[in-house]
């Protein structure tokens, strides 16, 4: 084993070459300097910062550079929707969605799946269907698509925009709704059966503050939780103009208090007060421990579905806007979530051909932690890997991107389908959340 030094951007408070005599591990306890990218700034509190991606733009180098530098979560803007994935009944096409997923995963990002069922962008054949025939077709769609992406998706928008605008607090009319009021829970059950590891979300717009529509969604989520319908998260799109709702934080918190994660899923903000409004949305999320991340709906203003309104964080030429700096500053200022101490521990076993190293980045707060483990191939490609971690005073409660055996003490991790192949010198990541202390994880890696 050789000693590897890390964290040049950190200002050490206590720097301990631990166990130098053991020749194994350098431990640096530090407070982070201000992070310089959105993803890194959000990660300081265990959150992600994501963007919608269009497959057709992956050949644009300005776009891809910003994507790879700034964001650590990706949503396909259109490519995983029903019309894109099942243009003819029973014929599935995943090439554009796969392209986005593979680009994200090979650059160490996670993916939100969007969206299994939505009354818009139904393929023509489904638009012409009703009743039990449609019910069968839509559940088959959920099953097939979630199965195709099984193990690869952090969270699925299982159902999108099913509630009506205005004061009714009720469901929107659609051919999906007319198959029976239980269509949403049927979709969530089908998604859970197809991909048990993905978090399952309900996603909607104009639900960002407390109003009749968001209360309708709230009542549905409360009902689902009370009856054991598998729902894990609620997405708030946040297509806004000038201001964030003043009660956005309170709204996110009331959903979180039902026992679901909350996420800002399609953020864009038009208007002259843009930078302040972006800061306000960021702070609202940071103030809610279960707000796990924020996704903006595109990269440059010219990439936006609201193109004329310039609602995003980068100009058409790729320059950072004042709104970008407002978001970065707010993320760096943190919130009462998991923010305060960052400890980075790296171990290396000096990889040769077929070997690998593992390093861990740990966000520890009072009662829990999030660990992100990076697996790096040596001088030849990996076909599979096995990582061992040690948890002396903590317990794993949730994990992604790896199979696990054990929850405390010696915990073994192996690759899942999509991240076992790692080209020489390249990396992939998995992560886990835990209760207690995550110190002393000391990951070791072996090819399998
Ligand atoms: O790809 C075709 C292209 O071949 C054709 O020449 C062109 C002509 O109009 O259309 C192109 O498809 C368009 C597609 O975006 C890709 O640009 C569709 O017409 C257009 O309808 C589609 O719009 C998308 C919209 O959802 C569909 O309702 C937007 O890109 C996408 O940003 C938007 O995203 C939605 C979320 O999924 C749900 N929440 C609201 C959000 C904004 O509407």
Q: Whose structure tokens read 């978001």? A: 327
Pocket of ligand 1 (CB under 6 A): 77-78, 120-121, 160, 205, 237, 266, 305
What's the chain's length in residues? Answer: 448
405 CA from centroid of ligand 1 (Å):
42
- For strands 26-32 and 409-415, give the pairing: unpaired
Report in angstroms the alpha-carbon separations of 354 from 71, 241, 425: 30, 53, 11
DSSP-derived secondary structure letter, 442: -
Which member of 77, 86, 185, 266 is catalytic?
Answer: 266
DSSP characters over 3-48: -----TTEEEEEEE-TTGGGT--EEEEEEEPPPSSHHHHHHTTT-E
Q: How far apart are CA 9 and CA 30, in angstroms?
A: 10
Q: Whose structure tokens read 């915990």? A: 411
Q: From the CA of 52, give the closest atom in ligand 1.
A: 32
Q: 161 catalytic, yes or no?
A: yes
Which member of 70, 161, 185, 429 is catalytic?
Answer: 161
Q: How far apart are CA 265 and CA 249, in angstroms?
A: 15
Write out the chain's pLDDT in tens, 448 residues: 333 333 323 333 333 333 333 333 333 334 447 999 999 999 999 999 999 999 999 999 999 999 999 999 999 999 999 999 999 999 999 999 999 999 999 999 999 999 999 999 999 999 999 999 999 999 999 999 999 999 999 999 999 999 999 999 999 999 999 999 999 999 999 999 999 999 999 999 999 999 999 999 999 999 999 999 999 999 999 999 999 999 999 999 999 999 999 999 999 999 999 999 999 999 999 999 999 999 999 999 999 999 899 999 999 999 999 999 999 999 999 864 433 334 454 544 545 667 999 998 776 655 667 687 889 999 999 999 999 999 999 999 877 678 999 999 999 999 988 778 888 888 887 878 778 889 899 999 999 9
- Please state, as a whole number, how many other Cβ atoms lie within 10 Å of the Cβ of residue 63: 21
Q: 266 catalytic, yes or no?
A: yes
Q: For a pocket test of ligand 1, which of 162, 305, 306, 309 has the largest count of ligand atoms closer than 8 A to its C-beta?
A: 305
Closest residue to atom 34 of ligand 1, CA basis:
77
Closest residue to atom 29 of ligand 1, CA basis:
305
Instruction: For 5-37, give one letter per residue: b (16+ CB within 10 A) or e.
Output: eebeebeeeeeeeeeeeeebbbbbbbebeebeb
């Amino acid at each position: 084993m050789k000693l590897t030094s890390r964290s040049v951007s950190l200002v050490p408070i206590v720097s301990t070459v631990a166990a130098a005599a053991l020749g194994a591990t350098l431990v640096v306890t530090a407070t982070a300097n201000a992070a310089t990218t959105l993803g890194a700034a959000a990660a300081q509190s265990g959150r992600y910062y994501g963007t919608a991606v269009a497959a057709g733009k992956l050949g644009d180098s300005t776009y891809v550079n910003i994507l790879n530098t700034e964001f650590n979560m990706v949503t396909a803007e259109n490519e995983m929707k029903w019309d894109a994935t099942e243009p003819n009944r029973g014929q599935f096409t995943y090439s554009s969605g796969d392209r986005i997923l593979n680009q994200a995963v090979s650059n160490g990002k996670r993916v939100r799946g969007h969206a299994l069922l939505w009354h818009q962008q139904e393929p023509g054949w489904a638009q012409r269907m009703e009743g039990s025939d449609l019910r069968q077709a839509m559940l088959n769609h959920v099953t097939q698509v979630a199965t195709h992406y099984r193990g690869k998706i952090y969270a699925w928008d299982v159902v999108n925009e099913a509630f009506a605008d205005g004061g009714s607090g009720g469901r929107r009319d659609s051919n999906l709704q007319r198959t029976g009021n239980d269509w949403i829970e049927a979709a969530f059950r089908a998604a859970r059966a197809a991909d048990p590891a993905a978090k399952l979300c309900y996603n909607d717009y104009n639900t960002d503050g407390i109003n009749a529509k968001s209360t309708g969604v709230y009542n549905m989520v409360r009902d689902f939780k009370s009856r054991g319908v598998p729902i894990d998260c609620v997405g708030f799109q946040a297509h806004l103009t000038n201001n964030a709702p003043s009660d956005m934080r309170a709204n996110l918190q009331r959903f979180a208090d039902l026992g679901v994660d909350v996420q800002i899923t399609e953020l864009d903000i038009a208007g002259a007060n843009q930078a302040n409004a972006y800061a306000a949305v960021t702070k609202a999320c940071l103030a809610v421990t279960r707000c796990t991340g924020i996704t903006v709906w595109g990269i440059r203003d010219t990439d936006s579905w609201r193109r004329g309104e310039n609602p995003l964080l980068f100009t058409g030429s790729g320059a950072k806007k004042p709104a970008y700096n407002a978001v970065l500053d707010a993320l760096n200022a943190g919130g009462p979530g998991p923010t305060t101490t960052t400890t980075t521990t790296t171990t290396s076993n000096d990889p040769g051909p077929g070997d690998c190293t593992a390093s861990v980045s740990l966000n520890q707060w009072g009662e829990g932690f999030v660990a992100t483990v990076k697996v790096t191939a040596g001088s030849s490609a990996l076909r599979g890997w096995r990582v061992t971690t040690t948890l002396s005073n903590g317990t794993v409660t949730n994990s992604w991107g790896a199979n696990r055996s054990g929850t405390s003490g010696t915990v073994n991790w192996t690759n899942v389908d999509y991240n076992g192949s790692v080209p020489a010198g390249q990396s992939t990541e998995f992560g886990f959340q835990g209760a207690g202390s995550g110190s002393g994880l000391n990951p070791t890696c072996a090819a399998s």
